Chains A and B, each alone.
Chain A
Amino acid sequence: MNNNAQLADRKFIIGGFFVLIAIVYIIRLFYLQVIDKSYEASARNNALQTLTEYPPRGFIYDRNGKLLVINEASYDLMVTPKLVKGCDTMALCEILEITKEEFLKRIKKACQAPNSPRKQSIFEKQMSSATNAKLQEKLYRFRGFYVQSRTVRKYPRPIAAHLLGYIGEVSKEKAEKDSYYKEGDYIGISGMERSYEEALRGKKGTRIVVKDVHNKEVGRYMNGKYDTAAVAGKPLYCTIDASLQEYGERLMKGKKGALVAIEPSTGEILCLISAPGYDPNLLVGGKERNKNFAKLVYDSTLPLFNRAIQAEYPPGSTFKLIDALIAQNDGLINRSTMYPCARGYPPMGGKPKCHPHGPVDLVNSVAQSCNSYYSYVFREIVDQKKYPKFIDGYNHWRDMVMSFGPGTKLGTDLPYDRPGKVPSVKYYDKVFGKNGWRSNTIVSLGIGQAELLLMPLQMANVVATIANRGYYYIPHTVKGIGNEKEIDKKFKEKVYVGVQNQEAYTNVIDGMQRCFDAGTAYYSRIPGVVACGKTGTAENPHGKSHAVFMAFAPREKPQIVIACLIENAGFGGTWSAPIVSLMIEKYVTGKVTRPELEKKMEAVDLIQGKNLITTEFH
C-alpha cells in the first residue's frame, strides 16, 4: 500500500490503452464501412443473385393472320460448378435419367472453356415440364443448380423453314460483342428470325433475388424495387401466304430448286420455297436438335441451303426478256424486227443452238424462245453505233441489266442474300486478255448463259418489274411489326429500272402471253386466267439443264409473279411451268381445276430419279 499513490498513476496508462484500442477499432470500422466500397459489392455477390427473365419471342403470322410460329415453354437446368456442394447426385441423375459418369462429364464440361466454374452454363437443355416439376421439388438439394425457363419455337404448320429461319445459341463472338447476349442465350440465326431478331426477342428482364448461404431463394431484393420486367417480343406479320407456301412446298417435293412468288404491286414475297426443305420443328431444340441438325447438314441435297436467295443459277432463256426490253428501249429493234435462225446463231456457226421453229418477230421470239434472235439482239445492243468502242456498249448493257437487279444485292430483309453475277469488262479482260474478246465471244450472255448468274429471288424480281412495266418494290417478307403496321420505308418506294419505254413492255408482255397461248408453256395454260410467262432451260456445268420458268398473272393488274427453277430437270416448259401455272391458278382463282396435273407434279421425284412424266414438251 505504501506505493499505492505511485501505482495509482497507472490508471491513466491503462485507461489510455483502452481508449487507444477503441480509437484504432473505430478508425478501422470507418475504413471498412465508409471508405472501402468493395465490401458492398461482395455482399451483393454473396446474397443477391440476378436472374434473367426471358421474354417470350414474338409470334409470326402469315399475311392472312394464320399463325406460322408460336412458342412452347421449355426449361434449362443451369449449373454453376463452383457453387455445387454436397449435391445429391444420385437423386439428380435419377430425375434427369443420366448416369453418374454422364453427370461428372457434364460438370467437367461446364468447368472447361468456354465455360467456367464460376459461370452458369447449361447442364440439361430444354427439359419437359414434367421433368421440371420433379426437379423443382428437390431443387434445394442440388446446390449450384437452378432452372431457367425459356421458350422454344413451335411451328403449327411445318412450312417455310428457310424463310422463317431458326434460332439457336448465340455464338461466343456475338456474345462478346453485344452486351445484350450472354452465352447460352438464344438468337435468330437465319431467315426472318435473324433479320427481325431485335423485334422478335423483346427485352430480357432481371429479377434480383436474395439467397441464403445454402443457395436457397429466400425472397426478392428490396421487394423487387430494382427488378426490371421482361418485355415480350413483338409479333411479326409477314407477307407469306401460308396456304400458297404450303401448296408450293407440296409441288416442289422431290425436286431440287427454288420457287419465289411476289406480289408485284407491293414487292411482298408471297411464298419463298427452297427445295428440298425440312420441317422447322426439327430445329427447335431439345435433345433431338443437334442430331437433326447434323442430319440436315450432311444431307447431300443440302436442305438447309436456302436456294431461293443463296443459290446462283444461270437464268437461261428467261433472261431474253431483259435483252428484248433494252434493245427496244435503245431503239434497235421493234415489234416487227426479225432475225434469221438456222437451228442456231448463223454468225457463230450455229452456236448457240436453237430448236426448230419458223422465222420469228419480237413477240414470237419470246413465245418460241429463239436463241439466234437474242444472240443478234445482244450484239445489236453491245455493238450499237452510239458507242464506238464495244466495251462501252457492253458496259451500257451491263448497267441496264443491273438496274433490274441482277448482279446487285436487292436489299431484301432476308439475311445472307447474294448479288449474283453480271460479269464486268475487267473480268473478261482477265479471262480473254485485253482486246482478246468481242461481242460474239460472249454472245451467250444474251440468252442468259455463260457467266451470268442470278438468284431465284432476283428472277422473280425481274418478272415483277416487267409485270409493273418498269419498276419494282424491293422484295420483302414483313408487312408489320407489333402493333405498328410500319415497315422500313425503303420497301415502300418504287425502284425504277433502266427501261421505261412502255411499248417495249407491251411487246414483251405480248410475247409472254403468247408463250402460254401458243408457245413453250402451251401445256401449262391456266383456265380463266390470262397469264404471261417465259420458259428457260439453263445449261450448267452440273449436269442436265435447270428448268426455269417465270410468269405473272393476270396480265392486267397482276396479282402474282412467280419464278421457279428446278435443278437438272431439263426443259423449263416441262417441269417448272406446270408448277408455276398451278400456283398461279390457286392464288388467282382460289382453286385448282387440273387435279391430274397437280397429282403428277406432286408425285414426281427428280432427286430419286423417279420420273413419272413421260411426255416431253418442247
Chain B
Amino acid sequence: MALRRNENSLFYGVDRITVITYTLLVLMGWLNIYAAVYNEEHKNILDISQKYGKQLIWIAGAAILAFSILVIDAGFYTVFAYWFYAIILLLCLLVPFLGREVKGSRSWFRFGDFGIQPAEFMKFATSLALAKFLSNENLIVLSRYRLRFKDLFKNYKNTFIAVTFLIVPMLIIKVLQDETGLAIVFVAFIIVLYREGLSINILIFGLITVILFVLSLVVAETNTLLIWMGVITACGFLFIRRTKKNILFAVLIYLGAAGVVLGTNYVYEHLEPHQRVRIDVLLGRNEVDLKKEGYNVNQAKIAIGSGGFWGKGYLEGTQTKYDFVPEQDTDFIFCTVGEEWGFVGSSIVVILELFLILRVVFLSERQRSPFSRIYGYGVASILFFHLCINIGMTIGLMPVIGIPLPFFSYGGSSLWSFTILLFIFIKLDANRLLILR
C-alpha cells in the first residue's frame, strides 16, 4: 500500500541527492550575488531594483518551473523533443529581428526590467532532440570499419545528422546573435557523441588539432615548429613498417599537421581583435596590458588569489564588492567566492558542482531508456563545459568566454535554462522504473 501511495506521489523516484545539491548551489549562488552587488545603501534582500532582489524572483520562478516539470508526464519530453527543438530554434532565429539590442547583441526578449535569452533554452532543447535522435539511431562506432571514402557518408550518416543538430543552433546563435559564449557551449555535446559511440580517433584528432593550434601560437617561429614536426615524423618511420602506403600515410599526416599550423596563423590573424586578445592573454603572448585587454583576467586572479586559505569573510571582499572585477555577479561570480570564502570555499564550490555532474552521469548510466541516458549525458556535458570554461577563465586557465557558472551566476535565463535542463532529467530518472521500453 505504502508503495502505491509513493508511486502516485509527485516526488516519487525523484533523486533527492541531486535536488539537494541543486538547491545548495542556487542558495550559495544567491548569497554570493548578494555579496558581489552588496552596498551599504541597499541592504534589503527583497529590493528588486538590486540584482539580488531580482535573482530571488528568478529563483522563485525556477522553483515553479522545477515543480511544473515534475508534474508533467515524462513522456511529454520524449514525445515533443523535436518540437521543443524546433520552436526554440525558431525563437532564436526571430530574436535578432524582434528582440531589443542589449550591449550590442540581439539575443534578448525584454519584458520591462526582465529579459529572456532564448538561446539559453536551446541547450535543453538540443539535448532533448539529440537524445531522441540517438535513441532511435545508432552511431557507427569504433573504428572497426576500414576507412573507405565511398562509404564515408553511408557509414557516418547518423554522425553527420547528430552533428547537424548541434551545428545549426551554434551557427544561428553565433552568426545571427553574435553570442560566442552561448554558441560554443554546443561543443560540449561531443562528450555525448563519444559516449554513444563516436570514434575516439576523432577526439584524438580534435585534441591534436587543439595542441597544434596552441603550439603554433606559443612557439613564435612557425618554421621551427614545422622542422620539429618533420623530425618527429621522421622518427616515426623507425616504428612503422616502411611500406609505400604507410610512408604515404605518414607524409599525409605531416602535411595535415603543417596545414593546421599554417592555418592557425591564418585563423588567428582573422579573428576578431578582442578574441585574439583573449587568446593572447591566456597564452601569455606578447606584452599584455593589464589595464586594458588583460584587465579582466588579472583582476579576477587578484580577487581569487587575495582570498587566501580561509577567505576574507562574507561581505568582506574588497575586490568584488567595489567593482574591480568586471561582471562579478554574472560570469565572474566565482571571484566573489574565491575572495570571500578562500581556497576552502572555492574548492567546495568546484567539488559540489563536480559532484552534481558526476551524480547526473551516475544516474544516466542506471537508465534503462537510451533516451534518458543520452539526455542525462547531455545535461552532464553542458554543466561540465560551463564549469570548466567559467572557472577556468577566472583562474587564467581558459580564454575569457562569457558563459555563466551553472546555478551560481546572476541571470534568469541561465538559471531557468539550467533548472529546466536538470529537472527534465530528474523527472526522466524518477520515471525510469515505470518505463519498460
Residues of A within 8 A of B (CB): 1-3, 6-8, 10-11, 14-15, 18-19, 21-22, 24-26, 28-30, 32-34, 36, 38-40, 42-44, 46-48, 210-214, 218-219, 221
Is B44's beta carbon under 8 Å from chain A? no
Q: Is the Cβ of A11 less than 8 Å from the Cβ of B365?
A: yes
> B355 — nearest CB in chain A belongs to which residue?
A22
Given known A-B contacts A26-B347, A39-B301, A213-B324, A11 and B361 have beta carbons under 8 A apart: yes
CB neighbours of A29 from chain B (8 A): 304, 338, 343, 346-347, 350, 395
Q: Is the Cβ of A22 less than 8 Å from the Cβ of B141?
A: no
Provide the bound-state CA to CA distance between A33 and B346, in Å: 10
A226 to chain B, nearest CB (A): 13
CB neighbours of A211 from chain B (8 A): 322
Is B419's beta carbon under 8 Å from chain A? no
Q: Is the Cβ of B395 less than 8 Å from the Cβ of A15?
A: no
Provide the bound-state CA to CA distance between A294 and B351, in Å: 71
Q: Is the Cβ of B346 less than 8 Å from the Cβ of A19?
A: no
> B299 — nearest CB in chain A belongs to which residue?
A46
Is B77's beta carbon under 8 Å from chain A? no
Cross-chain pairs A/B with CB under 8 angstroms, 16 sampled: A1-B138, A2-B138, A3-B141, A8-B365, A14-B191, A14-B377, A19-B354, A21-B384, A22-B351, A25-B350, A26-B347, A33-B338, A43-B319, A43-B339, A46-B324, A219-B40
Q: Is the Cβ of B370 less than 8 Å from the Cβ of A1?
A: yes
> A21 — nearest CB in chain B belongs to which residue?
B388
Q: Is the Cβ of A38 less than 8 Å from the Cβ of B358?
A: no
B321 to chain A, nearest CB (A): 8
CB neighbours of A43 from chain B (8 A): 302-303, 305-306, 318-319, 339
- Which of A8, A15, A25, A214 lies in contact with B323, CB distance below 8 A? A214
Chain A proximity mask over B190-234: 1 for CB below 8 Å, otherwise 0: 010011110000000000000000000000000000000000000
| CB-CB nearest 4 A-B residue pairs | A39-B305, A43-B306, A212-B322, A47-B318
CB neighbours of A36 from chain B (8 A): 305
Is B342's beta carbon under 8 Å from chain A? yes
Chain A proximity mask over B385-412: 1 for CB below 8 Å, otherwise 0: 0011001100111000000000000000
CB neighbours of B83 from chain A (8 A): none
CB neighbours of A22 from chain B (8 A): 350-351, 354, 387
Q: Is the Cβ of B195 less than 8 Å from the Cβ of A10?
A: yes
Q: Is the Cβ of B358 less than 8 Å from the Cβ of A18?
A: yes
Most B Cβ at <10 Å: residue of A29, A42, A214? A29
Given known A-B contacts A210-B318, A213-B322, A14 and B361 have beta carbons under 8 A apart: yes
Provide the bound-state CA to CA distance between A28 and B357, in Å: 20
Q: Is the Cβ of A33 less than 8 Å from the Cβ of B342?
A: yes
Tally of contact residues, B, Cβ under 8 A: 50
Q: Is the Cβ of B392 less than 8 Å from the Cβ of A33?
A: no
> B353 — nearest CB in chain A belongs to which residue?
A22
Provide the bound-state CA to CA distance between A18 and B370, in Å: 22
> B197 — nearest CB in chain A belongs to which residue?
A7
Chain A proximity mask over B317-343: 1 for CB below 8 Å, otherwise 0: 011011110000000000000110011
Chain A proximity mask over B8-44: 1 for CB below 8 Å, otherwise 0: 0000000000000000000000000000000110000
Is B169's beta carbon under 8 Å from chain A? no
Q: Is the Cβ of A15 less than 8 Å from the Cβ of B358?
A: yes
Provide the bound-state CA to CA distance between A212 and B317, in Å: 11
Is B142's beta carbon under 8 Å from chain A? yes
- Which of B343, B370, B392, B397 lies in contact with A30, CB distance below 8 A? B343
CB neighbours of A25 from chain B (8 A): 350, 391-392, 395, 397
CB neighbours of B53 from chain A (8 A): none
A220 to chain B, nearest CB (A): 12
Q: Is the Cβ of B304 less than 8 Å from the Cβ of A33?
A: yes
Is B378's beta carbon under 8 Å from chain A? no
- Which of A7, A33, A46, A218 lies in contact with B196, CB distance below 8 A? A7
CB neighbours of A24 from chain B (8 A): 397
CB neighbours of B191 from chain A (8 A): 14
Q: Is the Cβ of A7 less than 8 Å from the Cβ of B195?
A: yes
B357 to chain A, nearest CB (A): 6
> B194 — nearest CB in chain A belongs to which residue?
A10
Q: Is the Cβ of B324 less than 8 Å from the Cβ of A33?
A: no
Is B96's beta carbon under 8 Å from chain A? no
Is B308's beta carbon under 8 Å from chain A? yes
> A46 — nearest CB in chain B belongs to which residue?
B324
CB neighbours of A213 from chain B (8 A): 322-324
> B361 — nearest CB in chain A belongs to which residue?
A15
CB neighbours of A212 from chain B (8 A): 321-324
Provide the bound-state CA to CA distance between A48 and B354, in Å: 35
Provide the bound-state CA to CA distance between A26 and B345, in Å: 11
CB neighbours of B319 from chain A (8 A): 43, 46-47
> B308 — nearest CB in chain A belongs to which residue?
A33
Q: Is the Cβ of B318 less than 8 Å from the Cβ of A46?
A: yes
> B383 — nearest CB in chain A belongs to which residue?
A18
Q: Is the Cβ of A39 less than 8 Å from the Cβ of B304?
A: yes
Given known A-B contacts A3-B141, A211-B322, A18 and B308 have beta carbons under 8 A apart: no
A326 to chain B, nearest CB (A): 76
Chain A proximity mask over B287-304: 1 for CB below 8 Å, otherwise 0: 000000000000101111
Given known A-B contacts A22-B354, A33-B308, A39-B305, A28 and B397 have beta carbons under 8 A apart: yes
> A36 — nearest CB in chain B belongs to which residue?
B305
Provide the bound-state CA to CA distance between A214 and B326, in Å: 12
Is B307's beta carbon under 8 Å from chain A? yes
B305 to chain A, nearest CB (A): 2
Is B309's beta carbon under 8 Å from chain A? yes
Beyond known contacts A10-B194, A29-B346, A32-B305: 8 more, CB 8 A cutoff: A14-B380, A25-B395, A29-B347, A33-B304, A34-B308, A46-B299, A212-B323, A213-B324
CB neighbours of B303 from chain A (8 A): 43
Chain B stretch 257-272: residues in CB contact (< 8 A) with chain A: none
Q: Is the Cβ of B361 less than 8 Å from the Cβ of A39?
A: no
CB neighbours of A33 from chain B (8 A): 304-305, 307-309, 338, 342-343, 346
CB neighbours of B299 from chain A (8 A): 46
CB neighbours of B196 from chain A (8 A): 7
Provide the bound-state CA to CA distance between A21 and B39, in Å: 35
Q: Is the Cβ of B361 less than 8 Å from the Cβ of A18?
A: yes
CB neighbours of B301 from chain A (8 A): 32, 39
> A219 — nearest CB in chain B belongs to which residue?
B40
Provide the bound-state CA to CA distance between A3 and B301, in Å: 46
Provide the bound-state CA to CA distance between A29 and B302, in Å: 12
Provide the bound-state CA to CA distance between A29 and B299, in Å: 15
Chain B stretch 123-177: residues in CB contact (< 8 A) with chain A: 138, 141-142
CB neighbours of B142 from chain A (8 A): 3, 6
> B302 — nearest CB in chain A belongs to which residue?
A42
> B354 — nearest CB in chain A belongs to which residue?
A22
Q: Is the Cβ of A7 less than 8 Å from the Cβ of B306?
A: no
> A32 — nearest CB in chain B belongs to which residue?
B305
B315 to chain A, nearest CB (A): 12
> A82 — nearest CB in chain B belongs to which residue?
B291
CB neighbours of A26 from chain B (8 A): 347, 350-351
Provide the bound-state CA to CA distance between A11 and B304, in Å: 33
Q: Is the Cβ of A42 less than 8 Å from the Cβ of B347?
A: no
> A85 — nearest CB in chain B belongs to which residue?
B291
Provide the bound-state CA to CA distance between A33 and B370, in Å: 43
> B326 — nearest CB in chain A belongs to which residue?
A213
Provide the bound-state CA to CA distance between A10 and B139, in Å: 15
CB neighbours of B322 from chain A (8 A): 47, 210-213, 218
CB neighbours of B308 from chain A (8 A): 33-34, 40
Most A Cβ at <10 Å: residue of B195, B318, B346, B351? B318
B322 to chain A, nearest CB (A): 4
Provide the bound-state CA to CA distance between A185 and B361, in Å: 66
CB neighbours of B138 from chain A (8 A): 1-2
> B338 — nearest CB in chain A belongs to which residue?
A33
Provide the bound-state CA to CA distance between A32 and B303, in Å: 10
Provide the bound-state CA to CA distance between A25 and B338, in Å: 12
B301 to chain A, nearest CB (A): 6
A407 to chain B, nearest CB (A): 63
Q: Is the Cβ of B324 less than 8 Å from the Cβ of A40?
A: no
Given known A-B contacts A7-B197, A18-B384, A33-B346, A42 and B306 have beta carbons under 8 A apart: yes
